[in-house]
Each structure stands twice: as C-alpha cells, then as structure tokens.
Amino acid sequence: MKAARKAFGVPLPASWFTPRAALPALVLVILGLVPVYAAATGDPFALTLFGRIEILSIAAVSLNLIMGYGGMASFGHAAYLGIGGYAVGILWKEGIASGFVQWPAAIAVSALFALVVGALSLRTRGVYFIMITLAFAQMVYYVAQGLDRYGGDDGMTIGGRSSFAGIVNLNNATQLYYLCFALLLASLFLVWRLVNSRFGLIIQGARSNERRLRAIGISPFRYKLVCFVIAGGLCGLSGALLANHTNFISPAMMYWTRSGDLMVMVILGGLGSLFGPLLGTVTYLLLEEALSRVTEYPGLFIGPALLLVAIFMHGGIEGLFGARRRD
Amino acid sequence: MTEPLLQVDGLTKRFGGVVAADAIALDIAAGECHAVIGPNGAGKTTLIGLLAGEIAPERGSIRFDGRDVTAVAVHRRSQLGLARSFQITSLFADFTALDNVALAVQARSGHSFQFWQDARRQAALREPALQALDAVGLAARADARVDRLSHGEQRQLEIAVALAGKPRLLLLDEPMAGLGADESARMVAMLRRLKGDVTMLLIEHDMETVFALADRITVLVYGRVIASGDPLAVRADAAVREAYLGEQDARHV
C-alpha cells in the first residue's frame, strides 16, 4: 500500500497514537487495577460496581456495533441481556451448572432471537425500526414475567455461578472480575476488527448512504442482518455475565428503560467510535452511583446532562479529544 | 451487425397524470458516447432512474449486454456493469474520498463477508481506487473526508466511484450540475479522455458540452423522443429547433 500511495503522491496516514487514544487507555488501566485497590482497602464494593460497569460496557459495545456503525437504532437491546441471563438461570435451575453449556446457550439463543427480530425489523426504517425492536423486547419481557417456574415477576435467585471445570472459579470475586475484563477487551478487539474489515465498511456504508451502496452493486440487507445477529450474540454473553455477577435474574433486566439506558451510554460516549461505549458506560454508571448518594432523584440531573450532550457534543465524550483518525 | 450494448424499447412510466417516459426507444453501441438532452421536466432523470433500476417501468423493456434486465434490481444491474453518477451528489459523506472509491472496487470483487482482515490494507482494493482517483485528478485529496471536499471535487469523486467498478456502461446524470466555468471545463476534458474507453450515456443541460462530447444525441421532450441521431442531424432537425432549442437559441449553436 505504501508503494501505491507514493506512486500517486498521496501522503501516508499519521501515527495511530493520538491524544484521543489516551483516555480509553487510561480507563482500561484503571479498570485493570480495581481488584488491586479492592484488595488493598478490603472494600469489595469497588469490584461489584466496576464489574457491573465492565459487563454493561460489553452490552454497550455490542449496541454501538449496530447503532453507531450500522445506523440501526435498536430500542430493544436489553432483551438480549435478559435472554442471556435467563439462559444461565434456567439451565442452572434444570441442573446444568456448566458454563461450557450455559454461556454458548446464552449466546446462541440471543443470536437466534436477533435473527428473527432482524429479519423482520431490518426491512423497515427510522421510527418503525425502533418500534419493532421495542415491541419484540417487551414481548420477551412479558414472557419472562409469565415464567412462574423461574420466578415470574419477582425474578429468581441463582444458587450457583457457572462452573468452568476448575479453569476459572467465578465464586472468587477477583477471578469473575478479571474474566469480565478480559471479555470486555475481547469484545472491543472483535468490534475493532469487524468495523475495519470489508464487512464493516459495508455496514458503515449502509449507515451513510444506502442508495449509493445499491448503486455500486451491494444490497445491504444480508450484511445488516449478520451484523445484527453478531451484536445480539455479544449482548447475550453480557447477559450471562450479568446473571453471574448478581446471582439473580428478573424481567427487569430487559425492561424498556434498560434498553434506553444502553442507548444513552452509547450516545454519551460517542456513537460509532470504538471506545465510546466504554467511556459512556463508565461515565453514566459512575454518575448514577454518585448522584444516588446525594439525591433520591438522580434522573433529575442525568436528564439535563444528556440534553447538553445531545445539543453540544455530537461526538460524545470520545469526540472531545481531538479529531478521529481517518477523518 | 452486432447487438447494441444497451437496447431500450417502448419504455413507459407515468407519475400520476404526468407521462415522464412515453414509449422511449434508444440504442447505445459499445464505445459510444450518447447524450440525452431536453428541457426541464423532459424526463431525463426519470430515464436514468429507469435504466439504473430505481424506478420500475409500466411497459417496455431494457436489454443490457444481450440480457433482459427490465426486472433486475439496482444492485444486480450495477454488478452487471451499469454504473451511474447522481445529479445531486450522493456519496458516503462521512467516508474519505479513497474509502468511497475503494468500497466501489470492493463491491465488484465478490461478496464482502470477510470479517477480519483490515480492508484498508488490501492492495487489491486500494490500488485500483487510487488509480480511479488519479484518473479524475483527486489523488491528492484521497484522505479528505467527502463532506470537506468542495462541490467540484465531490462531482469528480462521483465519476471516480462510478469508474472504480470498471463499468460497461456509465450513466452520467448532469455531471456538470452546479460547477463553475473552470470546473466544468476540467470535467469536460476528463470525460473526453474517458471517451472511447467507456461507453457513456450522458444527460446534460449545457449544449456546448453535449456537442463537444457526444457521438449521438437523443432529444427528449415531455418523456417522448423527438429526435435521435448524430449531432449535426439533431442540430438541423426542425422539430428540435422548434421544441427545444428555440429559434433564438438555435442561432447561437
């Protein structure tokens, strides 16, 4: 490529390390050090809070793949969290405790659900797409409410975490935390590879201008559907982690406000940027945590803050730190 | 005689009461530069839409390269070698110029279910893309985002994107639209260079351009072909003078 660029007098791209890369790097280093802090202070709460941040970051990364890169604003993404969580809970209840069964099942069922939702919703656009994805998520929510054997409306406590034949012990809080951390890094890596591949460029082309995409010879439907399924599976994994993290599943995991929270995290961090959902989730959950200590109505402050982001910060938090690479 | 590359017969389309295409017949031979002219509302852009597949005709047929494509979808026609540029610039505005062209190259090189390799490092995509940019004089702007390009540069990029797919037939919908005199002259020079290599159907307002470039001209008025032939014949045609050029304008051409 360098030779071709030189031949046509095109300058080579700038170095990948920019001030923009510094903030996500810092956040990841801090996330990696939380267990050290928890051990030093003997305060397990940090592990719980930041573990939750990591898990929901994975869900936000998955939503960003379809919403940020693909322009598919799914308003039912929490359904996959719920399906992943219920897959773990239901299998535990039926006597299957192995994570090697539970987690693939969580991913597979979520992906399958995404296939059905996507096949029907991706033929529509704009508000209709949002409404259909929301409708499917609410449907799953009411189904979960009706599952009396698995706690119905009240939810169900899971009596044991997924077992991985002694390879990792999720009952150890530090091990569970680092597994979530590793999976967060893996999901960021996955999305990074995806969005820069041929597949990823088609997905971004579909977001940017579908008419042009057809004119150059590509019908976007199948690509968008595959992207939707990948995101569903990834969010299902996040749900499996969440069920392990809280030892609890309930329909509230997939209530529509949770889908809204996920959208807010992605938009707050910066739509369509790799680390945006991570920064958005960290900010949103820490803000929520801090505000809930001083006021009974954290939403009263988060709402206006979001309004400001929507009006003044189109690139989200990620966008504050210099121009994006390849701009 | 060899079969024309594009063969349009009896193509008809109405929008409500307006007849945008009225039994249009048109042949384009391989290698030809064929211009379609006509006053505003003559149905020129509708014709491009029909040929590209965005608009379905009520009657009539389109044969491309010996094959009936009347009912073939837009993206399939593009894969068969029918490329187009848009009258109102339609690009991937948040992509770089190079990414726009490279995606067009990618679209013509098999399916894109490749999930892992960095597409921006694939010489098979980038080199032809750079070549196409170079052909329209945009190589130096390869890494600029489209929404930061000037209008003239965006018009050039439209052509580069269309060329990148190595089309058999290029449908150009007013490539000079909104360009200044200098930019227009550059665009004409570029199209003249392409002439002969690529078969073109050119829709254009500007008479000078049309008479400078076209091998044959078809005149469209109210969706009907009123004349078709080489530029001299069309210029001399009485119906064309009356209906389109107008006696006053005719003196100047």
Q: What does the pLDDT profile of chain A (327 residues) look like in tens digits?
A: 666 677 776 766 656 666 778 899 999 999 999 999 999 998 889 999 999 999 999 999 999 999 999 999 999 999 999 999 999 999 999 999 999 999 999 999 999 999 999 999 999 988 999 999 999 999 999 999 999 999 999 999 999 999 999 899 999 999 999 999 999 999 999 999 999 999 999 999 999 999 999 999 999 999 999 999 999 999 999 999 999 999 999 999 999 999 999 999 999 998 999 999 999 999 999 999 999 888 888 888 888 888 888 788 777 888 777 555 443
Calpha distance B76→A174 (Å, rounded): 54
Chain A CB within 8 Å of residue B117 CB: yes
The verdict on residue A317 lying in a domain is no
Calpha distance A256→A137 (Å, rounded): 7
Determine the structural domain holding residue A238 and report its residue range: 45-255
Phi, psi values for residue B9, rounded to 5°: -140, 125
Phi, psi values for residue B29, rounded to 5°: -85, 155
Nearest C-alpha neighbor of B47 from the set B30, B28, B67: B28
In chain A, residues with a C-beta closer than 8 Å to the C-beta of B120 are: 196
A111 in Cβ contact with A70 (< 8 Å): no
Give the largest Cα separation in chain B, rounded: 63
The verdict on residue A316 lying in a domain is no
Chain B CB within 8 Å of residue A313 CB: no
In chain A, residues with a C-beta closer than 8 Å to the C-beta of B99 are: 201, 326
Calpha distance B173→B181 (Å, rounded): 18
Which sequence spans correspond to the domains of chain B?
1-81+167-253, 93-165
B216 in Cβ contact with B34 (< 8 Å): yes
Nearest C-alpha neighbor of B13 from the set B55, B45, B51, B48: B55
Calpha distance B159→B175 (Å, rounded): 8
The verdict on residue A84 lying in a domain is yes
| Tens-place pLDDT, residues A66-94 | 999 999 999 999 999 999 999 999 999 99
The verdict on residue A237 lying in a domain is yes
Q: Is the dihedral of CA A274, A278, A280, A283 positive or negative?
A: negative
Chain B CB within 8 Å of residue A165 CB: no
ipTM over cut 0.95: no
Calpha distance B33→A156 (Å, rounded): 72
Angle between helices A256-269 and A45-64 (to 10 degrees): 80
Side chain identity, residue A48: T
Tokens of A261: 């929270």
Chain A CB within 8 Å of residue B25 CB: no
Strands A248-249 and B216-221 come out as unpaired
Whether residues A218 and B75 touch (CB distance < 8 A) is answered with yes
| Tens-place pLDDT, residues A50-65 | 999 999 999 999 999 9
pLDDT attached to residue B63: 96
Side chain identity, residue B227: A
The verdict on residue A219 lying in a domain is yes
Calpha distance B137→B144 (Å, rounded): 14
Q: Is the dihedral of CA A246, A252, A254, A258 positive or negative?
A: negative
**Residue B172 CA, distance from chain mean position:** 2
Strands B216-221 and B33-37 come out as parallel
pLDDT attached to residue A254: 93
Calpha distance B246→B244 (Å, rounded): 6
pLDDT attached to residue A17: 64
Calpha distance A210→A221 (Å, rounded): 10
pLDDT attached to residue B8: 95
Shortest CA gap B80–chain A (Å): 9
* Number of domains within chain A: 1
Calpha distance B143→B133 (Å, rounded): 11
A137 in Cβ contact with A76 (< 8 Å): yes
pLDDT attached to residue B252: 47
Shortest CA gap A229–chain B (Å): 14
A residues 8-27 lying closer than 8 A (beta carbon) to B: 8-11, 13
Nearest C-alpha neighbor of B91 from the set B74, B73, B103: B103
What region does A81 belong to: left with phi over 0, alpha with psi -120 to 50, or beta?
alpha
**Residue B91 CA, distance from chain mean position:** 15
Whether residues A193 and B86 touch (CB distance < 8 A) is answered with no
Calpha distance A293→A309 (Å, rounded): 23
Shortest CA gap B240–chain A (Å): 33
Tokens of A60: 């936000």
Phi, psi values for residue B153, rounded to 5°: -65, -40
Domain B1-81+167-253 has CATH 3.40.50.300: yes
Chain A CB within 8 Å of residue B224 CB: no
The sheet carrying B6-15 orders its strands as: B18-28, B6-15, B59-64, B67-68
The verdict on residue A130 lying in a domain is yes
Contacts of A122 (CB under 8 A, 6+ apart): A72, A129, A221, A224, A225, A228
pLDDT attached to residue A2: 65
The verdict on residue A159 lying in a domain is yes
Q: Which one-letter DSSP state was computed for residue B217?
A: E
Chain A CB within 8 Å of residue B126 CB: yes
Q: pLDDT of chain B along its 253 residues, tens only? A: 578 999 999 999 999 888 999 999 999 999 999 999 988 888 999 999 999 999 999 999 999 999 999 999 999 999 999 999 998 999 999 999 999 999 999 999 989 999 999 999 999 999 999 999 998 989 999 999 999 999 999 999 999 999 998 899 999 999 988 888 888 998 999 999 888 889 999 998 777 788 889 999 999 988 999 989 999 888 888 888 877 665 555 444 4
Whether residues B103 and A205 touch (CB distance < 8 A) is answered with yes
**Residue B65 CA, distance from chain mean position:** 17
pLDDT attached to residue A13: 60
In chain B, residues with a C-beta closer than 8 Å to the C-beta of A204 are: 92, 95
- The per-residue b/e assignment along B74-91, b for 16 or more CB within 10 angstroms, e otherwise, is bbebbbbbbbbbbbebbb
CA dist A35 → A31, A47, A178 (Å): 8, 6, 8
Other C-beta atoms within 10 Å of B134: how many? 17
The Cβ-side half-sphere exposure at A293, using a 13 Å CA radius, reads 5
Phi, psi values for residue B222, rounded to 5°: 45, 45
